Structure 1
Amino acid sequence: MDPSLENTLTSDPSTWVGSSLVSVRQITPSGLRLMFDVSQEMKTIVRLVGGDERLKHKILANVFYEASTRTSCSFQSAMLRLGGRVVCIDQLNSSVKKGETLGDTIRCLENYADVTVLRHPIIGSAAEASTYAEKPVLNAGDGTGEHPTQALLDCFTIQDEFSGRGGGIEGKTVVLLGDLKHGRTVHSLAKLLARSEIPGVKLRYCSPESLKMPEDVKAEVDKYGLPQEEFSDLREAIAGADVLYVTRIQKERFASEDEYAAVEGSFVVDSELMNEAPKGMIVMHPLPRVGEIKEEVDKDERAAYFRQMENGMFVRMALLALVLGRRCEPQGYKLSK
């Protein structure tokens, strides 16, 4: 990533206008607080009236070169709820099949759209795309690298879940479980929590030996002094924890079926485990799940992953409004309505 993009997004909405978001490194602690505030406003608007027209006549190019349900649909829904429109591109219906470069694709789409959302299988692709772009590029996942909008919605979910109990992220112990080697969601979440300057946060990592959190991620977290611990036993990891963040073992990232089979089903969250878990501990998952959380857990009020999924739309509404310069409410509209 271009070093000039680091630490650029603050509590001043003008710093977001026209900006790309390719890494959590861009988000300052005050910028994260602004995102919480605007996301909560968007949640209130959707609950009250379904949306507004602040992005009327704006167009989003949704470019997904990897499969996606939640990220793609939530960006589309976010744009539509704010009165904008969406054009969708994937690897099958784009000129990438003809050998078009990423830079040319981005330059092309800017003629038709006001903001581009990009998911790409190669690490650093979103940062590369932003160097060609004159309009905002939003990273929707680049290989095993980062997923900054997921990290934002994850932090917002933790804040939202505990704010109803008179708290927030402060002082929370967060367990990251599963495929920590390939999981861009946990890479971004760990980095964003470290950079947030929220007091008292602790990270615990629990994974198969071959899927541990990468050393470069741990080193970046360590720079900010955030406590980190590693566990091989899930029950030990969740003792006294506030958040259990579960990830699937990512079959598509393995070189062979045998490598995947060796770790498949290493950790499973079921009713038995939840009976032993702290009473106030929430369970999160970026989804999709493939057996690591049993459906019987869905009935547990601590299961927050579907609420987390909906929060993705609110956060992406906030992000689109900010980068397109429509942070303020339309004239005459009141959140207290």
Structure 2
Amino acid sequence: MAAFPLAHVIESQQFDRDLLDLVFQTADTLKADLSGPRRFSKALNGKIMASLFYEPSTRTRFSFESAMLRLGGTVITTENAREFSSAAKGESLADSTRIMNGYADVIVMRHNEAGSAARAAEISGIPVINAGDGAGQHPTQALLDMYTIADAFSGITGLKIAMVGDLRYGRTVRSLSYLLTKYEDTEIIFVSPPVCKMEGDIKAYLDKYNVPWHEETDLDSIVPEVDCIYMTRIQKERFHDPEDYRIAAGKYILTQERANRMKPEAIIMHPLPRVDEIPKSVDDNPRARYFEQAQNGLYIRMALLYLLLNKDDGGPVR
């Protein structure tokens, strides 16, 4: 099997079916190894990951750092690079990237500006992984989302998936939409307030790959028919108009009653953090997969780090 072909992980469009299978197979192996012989506990011994986060993060940052440590690597990190790195002194992203190239073997970057990871990758001699760039993309979240869906349904073909909430600014649903085009007979339903509708570029991309989609404003009407409801938070920090946020906030709440109207085998996902869109009472519902989804971030990010930093090995670990 060919070696991992990517120099950087910047956007979901980089992944085709073969590459997705490679990442998922590697994640399966590393997941099993954590509770088994620990053959890969020193796989990245001597490697350093620079965790460069210009926006707050809990799951993404800690899962990446945990992934690196569990593979035997080490981490250098800053909690909020906009305030606690030289960016606060006016240092450019390009200069910060060049500096990190001298300190680390891989850069994991979250930034408030869309396209920032791509700009960093253009000048970086070491791998750059996009951990979220503003309202742009979040490819590793999309990978763990697909991994979660594949595990729940033993495959991803023939599924109807509803994306609910902030679709305009939600980088997770944008990235997931790109990946869903890789699978047959998938249908997407966008459920959002008018001020948060999915942008036209995603709709055009779905049309290009013949993925059926339509828009709804009534959550109740689609609850019984979908295989997966992917809830998202209304992101106050992304709104430029406070009135738009007021209109959208609290619009869609997946109550226990609504969750119980879903198919028995259907699943509920959320990239987290949540506010009020999924009450805590739903956590014990057998359809709830969002904590498992977050845990899957560890395995997917372990796989990506392993594949990016062990290119000579070729193929998934066995």
The normalised TM-score by structure 1 is: 0.90
**Per-residue CA shift, 1:193-248, capped at 9, x if unaligned?**
11x1x221111110111111101111011111111111111122223211110000
Contact 1:172/1:201 (<8 A) preserved? yes
1:224 corresponds to which residue? 209
- Aligned to 1:171, the other structure's residue is in SS state coil
Find out whether 1:177 has 2:168 as its counterpart. no
| TM-superposition CA deviations, 1:263-311 (whole Å, max 9, x none) | 1100001111012111111000000000100000000111000000000
Residue aligned with 1:15, SS: coil
Match of 1:100 among 88, 91, 102: 91
Give 1:33-44 correspondences, 5 Å limit: 33-44=21-32
Gap regions ≥5 residues in structure 2? none
Q: Which residue of 2 aligns with 1:6?
A: none
Question: Cα distance, 1:28 vs. partner?
Answer: 1.6
CA distance in 2, matches of 1:299, 1:315: 25
The answer as to whether partners of 2:3 and 2:311 remain within 8 angstroms in 1 is no
1:12 aligns with 2:15: no
* Structure 2 match to 1:242: 227
SS in 1 for 2:35: helix
Aligned residue pairs, count: 313
- 2:282 pairs with 1:297: yes
Structure 1 residue 48 displacement after superposition: 2.1
Instruction: Give me the whole-angstrom Cα distance separating, in 2, the residues matched to 1:53 and 1:258.
Output: 52
- For residue 199 of structure 1, what is the aligned residue in structure 2? 184
Secondary structure at the aligned position of 2:189 is classed as strand
1:118 aligns with 2:103: no
Query: 1: CA distance between counterparts of 2:230 and 2:2?
Result: 31
Aligned residue runs from structure 1 range 46-125, under 5 A: 46-49=34-37, 52-89=41-78, 90-125=81-116
Q: Offset at 1:107?
A: 0.5
Name 2:130's counterpart in structure 1. Answer: 139
> Which of 272, 289, 296 does residue 287 from structure 1 map onto?
272
How many Å separate the matches in 2 of 1:76 and 1:41? 19
What is the SS of the residue equivalent to 1:241?
A: coil
What is the TM-score when the length of structure 2 is the normalising length? 0.95
Residue 49 of structure 1 and its aligned partner are, at CA, apart by 4.7
Quick one: which amino acid aligns to residue 123 of structure 2? Answer: Y
1:54, 1:326 within 8 Å by CA — same for their partners in 2? no
TM-fit CA distance, 1:328: 5.2
Aligned Cα root-mean-square deviation (Å): 1.6
Aligned mates of 2:217, 2:244 — CA distance in 1: 19
CA change 1:327–1:204 in 2 (3 A) is: farther
The CA distance in 2 between the partners of 1:211 and 1:98, in whole Å, is 35
Which segments of 5 or more consecutive residues in structure 1 lack a partner in the other structure? Answer: 1-10
Secondary structure of 2:214's counterpart equals strand
Tell me the SS of whatever aligns to 1:13.
coil
